[in-house]
A and B are shown apart, each in its own frame.
Chain A
Amino acid sequence: MGRQRRRVDRAAGAGSGTLPEAIAALSRALPCGPSPETFRRAKFDRPEAAPALWQLLFRVLSPVSEAGATAPPAPEAQARLVKAALRSEGYPRPALAQLPEDGSRGSRELLLALSWLLARRPLLERLLARTRVRLGDEVAVCECEDLAFGRANTGLPALGLGSELHVDIRHVQWLMGKLRFQWRNLVSTQQEQCALLSKIHLYTWGCHSDQSLGHLSATETEVLRDPEGSQQLLQVLEQENAHLAATVEWRRRELVFWQWMDTVLDTCPQQAPDAGSQPVFLPKIPDHRAGQWELVAGEMQALEEELRAAAEPRRAAWEAQVRGQSRDPAWSSALRALQETVGQELAALRWAWDQGRDPAQPHGLYRLVRSEPGAPAGRGLQAAEVIGALRSKEACLEAALRQLQGQCRRELARLMGALPGFVWISSPVR
């Protein structure tokens, strides 16, 4: 049976190797990957293959902080998270949601889910990237990490708030002050760390085997200071190398895997489309995101109102002006030209937010390397450029903040000014 399959596959996937090799590469490349036998059993929906696949999907889908946890939660909790995460990803098949959560069944469905994830994105590379060993002193150049920080924390339900249902505004003021203080603390700690790193780079000048780097990073120096403690680092590095090598092999051989997955999908019984009867599996968590929707919708609506209020009188004034004028061709062509220019400008504006981030801007983590100011360019990003970009971003953000604050100021002044019997002296504008 095996030999037959092999012959068939060899004919089918010219040059891409055999199925067992592909599956073996996949299982080596995945973190806590199940054995190749599990994959085969899963095709036939054998129950013994299910637990391993549940665990694997849990590892893959849990967020960064939990992925490294040594004690995985109970199988039911794992299964629930996997289901919720897949639903959140938009997994199309309803059969997954109907699997029992004790982890006893469903290996074929899980195999399909895994392949779905693998097909949509370079999953293996991303898994490896998130646990990548960083040997240099890395610094993030973009703010994506910041947003992730912010969102990660505001998504959590506020704990222990049962007792403090009503707070005074002074509590809010206190929290804001505390936040300000913490930021200042952070800045000074960061400055110290930079000074120390700079010294380390300076003192270890010239001893890196990689000439383009020139000096050791703090991590590497730590390796030298504490050879025993760094044995672990070396092990992790070697493990990562093994995973990487397996991923490279997988990339070479994966075609035959996809052909096999087609057959797996075919062996599934046809799903009777059960429209509308999708039971809700998670209790309705008070979604913090609901607040965000409201904010954005409210802003957008307010904006539209303001635009209407600004445009309508101008339109009316214009119509009144134009009423008497004759429509000669020069006039209408000028009109059209103007409309086109404005249209282009607005399209450019739309593109600015549609495209999301500016691809020209640097992103991600960069390794800090100290170098002479006159060094040849092209080696990497220059700090001066980044500083320039950051300064302009800072100016933009400051302007936005001022604008918001000004808006509040005007509104409050208007409100207070209307009150009889009080004199409202606003704080001086900076």
Chain B
Amino acid sequence: MLPADCSRRLVAELRGALDACAERQRQLERSLRVSRRLLRAWEPAATPAAEPTLGPEAKGEHLSPACTPSSQDLKELELLTQALEKAARVRKGISKAGGDKAPVPKSGSTVTPVTTTPSHLQAPGQADGRVSETSPPRGICQTKAPTKGHPERRLLSSEDRISWGRGARATRPGPGLRDQQTAPPAAQQAPEAFTLKEKGTLLQLPMAFRKAASQNSRLWAQISSTQTSDSADATTTAKTQFLQKMQTASGPHGPGLSAAEVEAELGRLQEACSLLRLRMEEEVAAAPVDWKQELRCLFTLEGLQALAGQCLCRLQELRAAVAEQQLGPWPVGGSRSTLSPCGAGADPARGPRLLLYSSTQELQTLVALRLQVAMLTQQIHLEKVLMAELLPLVHTQGRWGPRELSLCRAVHSLLCDAGERFPTVLQDEPTG
């Protein structure tokens, strides 16, 4: 058993690490749920015109009057559907014969979210789907497969729109209803739901949204420009004067250090430690060839020693300052408040910053490396903590019985192999 305070610290540290990991996992799973849902067939959500999700049973009674198809309309629709089927077949024949260099359809500004096509045209769509699934996920290649279907779709939908008149503006799920109306004999086919794969390129964000988004980026750009131009004008001087006045009006307490600044400096000193150590290892490992190199090595080591001494002094100064100012710890752990942001917050308005990737592979590599770096940072921190807690224990062992030995084995495996391997201890029985 480990002593109480040691246990407490170790467990607290490890639990903290586990919680941080769990938090990341939670956030990730939230985004994953969203993405998965987006890639499935989209359920017919309510049309903007109000009704909640409508079931497959003909809820014709609830249709708004503008959408009620008359029998005349239905007949026309039937004819049109047949005509379109024929057109699709013909076109498919043509496109198979000719080359299939269909360009990626750049949806112009006039294409609104497309209406669903009649159900029997799903077959070509499915074929396309299969083709695109088998082709390897490479940048442009994949778009070629679905585009075979797209020119057809586009044409069909525009024709749909013409004949269906005012109802055509409805978003894709709405007409799912109409399909049931027009094809009741054809067995209860589920309304063709929207899939991103087939019709993703025809989406367009609603106008209100686009306006708000562009205004948003414009305003952020404005803010960043006012920030940078803020160098030495009347406002800045007024502010500095005010701050100085506040300082002097408060009495003899020295210039306040904020907890965030102290923590930042602590971090820097930690960094200093590792850099100094690295350099020392380099110097000690190097074998000097001539007197110049020897001397250089000597000077470097002495210089490093001086720097280490300075850092230690600074450390003690900071500690004293914290104690004097009674800078308590940040009230709710962590420095993730407004006032000490990371790079992301410090300059939030620096334009739309883009990270360009060209393939799924690349993106996955990038993200995997990020996680690896984060994990290594955590591991190094934990290693230091474990070293500080466990090595003294091993040093202070009195007798060496089996329990102490197993403790030693455990400590060795934790510290030297991150718990993955164990050393072996053999009892050396004296013979005879």
Given known A-B contacts A126-B339, A173-B410, A425-B423, A190 and B256 have beta carbons under 8 A apart? no
Q: How far is the CB of B424 from chain A (nearest CB, A)?
A: 4
Q: Is B166 among interface residues, defined by CB-CB distance under 8 A?
A: no
Number of residue pairs across A and B with beta carbons under 8 Å? 677
Please determine whether A182 and B18 come into contact, CB atoms closer than 8 angstroms: yes
State whether the Cβ of B97 lies closer than 8 Å to any Cβ in chain A. no
Inter-subunit contact B410/A60 (CB<8 Å): no
Which A117-157 residues have a C-beta within 8 angstroms of B?
A: 117, 119-123, 125-130, 132-133, 135-136, 139-157
A405 touches B417 (CB 8 A): yes
Q: What sequence of 0s and 1s flags, for each residue 323-346 of chain A, a beta carbon within 8 Å of any chain B beta carbon?
A: 000000000001100110111011
What are the 10 tightest A-B residue pairs by CB atom distance, in nearest-first order? A90-B256, A155-B333, A152-B334, A380-B354, A363-B343, A129-B348, A144-B342, A203-B200, A273-B251, A364-B344
Do residues B23 and A149 form an inter-chain contact, with CB atoms below 8 A? yes
A80–B25 Cα distance when bound, in Å, is: 33
With A303-B273, A400-B380, A421-B430 already in contact, 12 other A-B pairs whose C-beta atoms are closer than 8 Å: A66-B332, A115-B242, A153-B23, A153-B334, A187-B371, A203-B201, A227-B171, A268-B249, A354-B268, A368-B363, A406-B416, A424-B423
Chain A count of residues within 8 A CB distance of the other chain: 233
Q: Is A200 within 8 A of B38, CB to CB?
A: yes
The verdict on A240 contacting B200 (CB below 8 Å), with A200-B38, A314-B297, A416-B408 known, is: no
Residues of A within 8 A of B62 (CB): none
Q: Are B358 and A370 in contact (CB under 8 A)?
A: yes
What's the tally of chain B residues with a CB closer than 8 Å to chain A?
223
Known contacts A63-B337, A349-B279, A408-B387; decide if A180 and B416 are in contact (CB<8 Å): no
B395's closest neighbor in chain A, by CB? Answer: A415
| A295 proximity list for chain B (CB < 8 A) | 384-385, 388
Please name all residues of chain B whose beta carbon is closer than 8 Å to the beta carbon of A121 when the two chains form the complex: 339
Cβ of A11 under 8 Å from chain B: no
Q: Which of A180, A190, A318, A370 makes the CB contact (< 8 A) with B357?
A: A370
> Is residue A394 within 8 Å, beta carbon to beta carbon, of the partner chain?
yes
Name B240's closest neighbour in chain A (CB-CB). A119
Are B243 and A116 within 8 A (Cβ)? yes
Pair B35/A218 contact, Cβ less than 8 Å: yes
- The interface centre, meaning the residue of A66, A129, A136, A384 with most chain B CB atoms within 10 A of its CB, is A129
Most buried by B among A190, A240, A371: A190
Task: Say yes or no: B205 contacts A167, CB within 8 Å.
Answer: no
| B186 beta carbon closer than 8 Å to chain A | no
Q: Contacts A133-B216, A354-B268 given: A314-B416 contact, CB under 8 Å?
A: no
In the complex, chain A residues whose CB is within 8 Å of the CB of B356 = 369-371, 375, 379-383
Query: Chain B binding site: helix, strand, loop or mixed by DSSP?
Result: helix
Contact A391 B369 (CB under 8 A): yes
Interface residue stretch chosen among B65-73, B74-82, B84-92, B259-267: B259-267
Bound-complex Cα distance A415 to B367 (A) = 41
Contacts of B272 in A (CB 8 A): 350, 353
Q: Given the interface contacts A84-B331, A382-B356, does A318 sit within 8 Å of B295 by beta carbon?
A: yes
> Given the known A-B contacts A89-B339, A353-B268, are A176 and B358 also in contact in the complex, defined by CB atoms under 8 Å?
no
Assess whether A37 is interfacial by the CB under 8 Å rule. Answer: no
- CA A198 to CA B382, docked complex, whole Å: 34
Q: Are A182 and B25 in contact (CB under 8 A)?
A: yes
Decide if A52 is an interface residue (CB 8 Å cutoff). no
Task: Convert A388-430 into 0s and 1s, putting 1 for each residue whose CB lies closer than 8 angstroms to a CB of B.
Answer: 0011011001101101111111011001100101111111101
Does A161 reach chain B (CB closer than 8 Å)?
A: yes
* 8 Å CB contact of A366 from B241, B316, B355, B413: B355
Task: Please name 30 pairs of A and B residues whose Cβ atoms are closer than 8 Å in the assembled complex, sorted by A.
Answer: A81-B331, A112-B246, A119-B242, A130-B338, A149-B20, A149-B23, A153-B20, A187-B371, A193-B31, A199-B197, A205-B200, A207-B203, A212-B352, A220-B205, A237-B212, A237-B216, A244-B216, A291-B9, A293-B315, A297-B312, A303-B280, A311-B298, A346-B303, A381-B353, A383-B355, A394-B369, A412-B408, A421-B428, A423-B425, A426-B423
B201 with A310: CB separation less than 8 A: no
- On chain B, the residues within 8 Å of A270 by CB distance are 249
A192 in the interface (beta carbon within 8 A): yes
Task: Kindly specify which of A2-10, A42-50, A99-107, A275-283 makes contact with the partner chain.
Answer: A275-283
* Pairwise interchain contact B363-A204, C-beta atoms closer than 8 A: no
Given contacts A169-B411, A189-B28, contact A164 B11 (CB under 8 A): yes
Q: In this assembly, does A32 line the interface, its C-beta being within 8 Å of a C-beta of chain B?
A: no
Determine if A425 and B23 form an interchain contact, defined as CB atoms under 8 angstroms apart: no
Q: Note all chain A residues with C-beta closer than 8 A to B299.
A: 338-339, 342
A296's partner among B10, B273, B419 (CB-CB below 8 A) is B273
Chain A residues, Cβ within 8 Å of B255: 90
Are B258 and A89 in contact, with the CB atoms below 8 A? yes
